[in-house]
């Protein structure tokens, strides 16, 4: 039997038993998959040939959530089921579920392959990149047309609101502004909070639609040898919530991991805006898109530095320059519309693109 000092061996034994019980198949190998910025773990599970069973699965293993990743008093993310099943029922491309153990926090899911959207567009032509991003953008109106509430689906009880926006402001003050070489002053902290209050006001006035919540290139995979229009699959669905119509588009098109040409971003937005259920006016759509970019990218910039400083994981600092550029562009446009954003725009202009040495 595996020893207590060998948790991976214990996990592998659990996965073998779970696959046998769920699919009647034997496991030939289990391999950990490199994790992302979160604490959740993934393993690729290889199966002996058996009629009706896939060749590989991905085991998704929940981990204790870092309380610092959400506002105090906010409950942790719900389980993957039943929101995955809801999206599947509505024809959205999500991984098939083959079984699981809710008590152990394990889900056995379809293996969507190793090629994320991030990897797929890294060396792709502009035409291929536009087409792939177009496929993902086309999913956003479909997702937003799913109406709630739906019994048992917590996504319709969760929403982006003032508490979450204020939390993002605090993180930006604590972990982003010190990258200028000094902590934020009291006056600077007030300027950030006042600006994020403007974002919260816009969120409060906006319609709320179902959103993936983390629709970035690392959470979209591209199936090998699939036909155009059926190539992408959505991962990491458990955080779904209600948010303004622009939220998922900000996550996707202002991604810290892929800096798209501005004209491409504009083309995608022009194409998808009238397809959204609420069909926002061009003015409201552009305004909220920039305000949500400030909140989302401010949070991401802070998260990259928080993880580097507290966990010793500096992998994501290489995405700080892109994030700073996204923030600067959005801040300039937002401040031109509303002078209450001017102080934040000035502070963002001071952020270095290269993380400082501390």
pLDDT 10s per residue in the chain (358 long)?
444 447 788 899 999 999 999 999 999 999 998 766 667 899 999 999 988 889 999 999 987 655 566 676 677 889 999 999 999 999 999 999 999 998 889 999 999 998 999 999 999 999 999 999 999 999 999 999 999 999 999 999 999 999 999 999 999 999 999 999 999 999 999 999 999 999 999 999 999 999 999 999 999 999 988 888 889 999 999 999 999 999 999 999 999 999 999 999 999 999 999 999 999 999 999 999 999 999 999 999 999 999 999 999 999 999 999 999 999 999 999 999 999 999 999 999 999 988 766 5
CA 36, CA 123: separation in Å to the nearest integer? 21
The residues, any chain, with a CB within 8 Å of residue 186's CB and separated by 6 or more, are none
CA 79, CA 269: separation in Å to the nearest integer? 31
pLDDT in the model for residue 7: 72
pLDDT in the model for residue 8: 85
Phi, psi angle pair for 310, to nearest 5°: -95, -30
CA 188, CA 207: separation in Å to the nearest integer? 31
For domain 117-350, the CATH superfamily is Aminoglycoside phosphotransferase (APH), C-terminal lobe (3.90.1200.10)
The tokens describing 17, both together, are 């038993």
- pTM here is 0.92
pLDDT in the model for residue 2: 47
- Whether the bond between 149 and the residue before it is cis, its omega within 30 degrees of 0, is yes
Element (H, E) at 201: helix 186-205
Evaluate whether 240 touches 210 at the Cβ level (below 8 Å): yes
Phi, psi angle pair for 29, to nearest 5°: -165, 150
Q: Locate all alpha helices (DSSP H) within 172-319, ordered by sequence.
A: 186-205, 247-253, 262-272, 282-311
């Amino acid at each position: 039997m595996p020893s207590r000092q060998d948790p991976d061996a214990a996990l592998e034994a659990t996965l073998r038993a779970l696959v046998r019980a769920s699919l009647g198949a034997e496991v030939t190998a289990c391999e950990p998959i490199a994790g992302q910025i979160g604490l959740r773990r993934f393993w690729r599970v290889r199966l002996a040939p058996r009629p009706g069973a896939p060749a590989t699965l991905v085991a998704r293993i929940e981990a204790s959530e870092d309380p610092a990743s959400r506002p105090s008093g906010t409950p942790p993310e719900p389980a993957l089921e039943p929101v995955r099943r809801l999206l599947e029922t509505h024809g959205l491309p999500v991984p098939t579920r083959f079984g699981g153990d809710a008590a152990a926090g394990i889900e056995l899911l379809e293996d969507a392959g190793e090629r994320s959207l991030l990897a797929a567009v890294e060396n792709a032509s502009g035409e291929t990149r536009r087409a792939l991003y177009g496929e993902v953008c086309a999913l956003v109106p479909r997702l937003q047309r799913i109406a709630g509430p739906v019994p048992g689906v917590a996504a319709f009880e969760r929403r982006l609101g003032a508490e979450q926006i204020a939390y993002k402001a605090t993180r930006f003050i604590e972990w982003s502004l010190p990258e200028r070489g000094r902590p934020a002053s009291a006056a600077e902290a007030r300027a950030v909070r006042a600006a994020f209050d403007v974002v919260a006001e816009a969120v409060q006035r906006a319609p709320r639609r179902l959103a993936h919540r983390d629709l970035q290139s690392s959470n979209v995979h591209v199936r090998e040898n699939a036909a155009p229009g059926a190539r992408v699959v959505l991962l990491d669905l458990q955080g779904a919530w209600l948010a303004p119509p622009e939220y998922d588009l900000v996550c996707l098109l202002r991604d810290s991991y892929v800096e798209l040409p501005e004209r491409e971003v504009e083309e995608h937005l022009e194409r998808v805006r009238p397809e959204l259920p609420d069909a926002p006016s061009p003015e409201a759509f552009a305004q909220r898109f920039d305000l949500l970019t400030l909140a989302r990218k401010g949070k991401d910039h802070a998260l990259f530095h928080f993880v580097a400083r507290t966990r010793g994981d500096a992998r994501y600092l290489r995405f700080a320059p892109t994030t700073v550029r996204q923030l600067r562009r959005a801040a300039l446009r937002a401040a031109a519309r509303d002078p209450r954003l001017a102080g934040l725009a000035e502070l963002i202009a001071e952020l270095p693109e290269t993380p400082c040495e501390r």
